[in-house]
């Protein structure tokens, strides 16, 4: 029996990089003319994996989200892992938007990843869902490389990361 090679498919964001991007975005908001005198803020709730944005109007909220996105992109944080909520009215003539950070594969996405691997019908390749990750194993490392290429070519709504390659 040949030795099985495997890798794990996960997703996530580097929380320290998110924190750095939020700090840079707040600094930029403080300097921009269109935000002078406004109540625009970005709050990073690390424990809940959430960002809370508050602005004076829908227009400012759009600009605030754009500033945050650009800072996240510059810090190599995958913006696909942002779950941007609805812009809702808040107290004091402000609007509020909550952005969730996807730090692990949810069960639906894991099932889609496993199904895509099975649909590809790469011989002797197996995908097993293990809580917040998918373990892909095969006796051939070349087949594992093909699976990685296949998963990169598809869109699952999150940025996939491949790790623990053995």
Its domain, for residue 68, covers 15-101
Report how many domains make up the chain: 2
Same domain, 92 and 123: no
| Tens-digit pLDDT profile for residues 98-113 | 999 988 888 899 999 9
Contact in structure between 10 and 16 (CB atoms under 8 Å): no
The side-by-side arrangement of strands in the sheet containing 41-45 is 41-45, 50-55, 94-101, 82-90
What SS3 class is residue 147?
helix
Q: Do 48 and 91 share a domain, yes or no? A: yes
> The domain that contains 41 carries what CATH number?
3.30.70.990
Indicate the pTM of the whole model.
0.83
Kindly state the DSSP code that residue 3 receives in the 8-state scheme: P
Residue 1's pLDDT band, with cuts at 50, 70 and 90, is very low
pLDDT band at 2 (very low <50, low <70, confident <90, very high): low
Query: Which of 51, 77, 101 lies at the terminal end of a domain, its last residue?
Result: 101
20, 85: one domain: yes
> Measured between alpha carbons, how far is 104 from 107 in angstroms, rounded to an integer?
9
At 141, give phi and psi (nearest 5°).
-70, -30
Note the pLDDT of residue 53. 93
Q: Are residues 83 and 133 in the same domain?
A: no
* 66 and 20 co-located in one domain: yes
Tokens of 103: 């730090």
């Amino acid at each position: 029996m040949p030795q099985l090679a495997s890798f794990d498919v996960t997703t996530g964001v580097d929380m320290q990089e998110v924190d750095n991007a939020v700090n840079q975005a707040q600094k930029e908001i403080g300097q921009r003319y269109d935000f002078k005198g406004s109540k625009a803020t970005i709050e990073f709730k690390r424990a809940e994996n959430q960002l809370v944005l508050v602005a004076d109007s829908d227009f400012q909220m759009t600009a605030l989200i754009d500033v945050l996105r650009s800072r996240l992109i510059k810090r190599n944080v995958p913006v696909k892992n942002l779950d941007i909520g609805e812009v809702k009215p808040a107290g004091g003539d402000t609007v509020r938007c909550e952005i969730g950070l996807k730090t692990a594969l949810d069960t639906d996405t894991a099932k889609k990843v496993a199904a895509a691997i099975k649909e590809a019908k790469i011989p002797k390749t197996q995908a097993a869902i293990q809580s917040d990750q998918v373990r892909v194993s095969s006796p051939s490392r070349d087949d594992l490389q093909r699976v990685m290429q296949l998963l990169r070519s598809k869109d699952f709504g999150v940025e996939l990361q491949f790790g623990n390659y053995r």
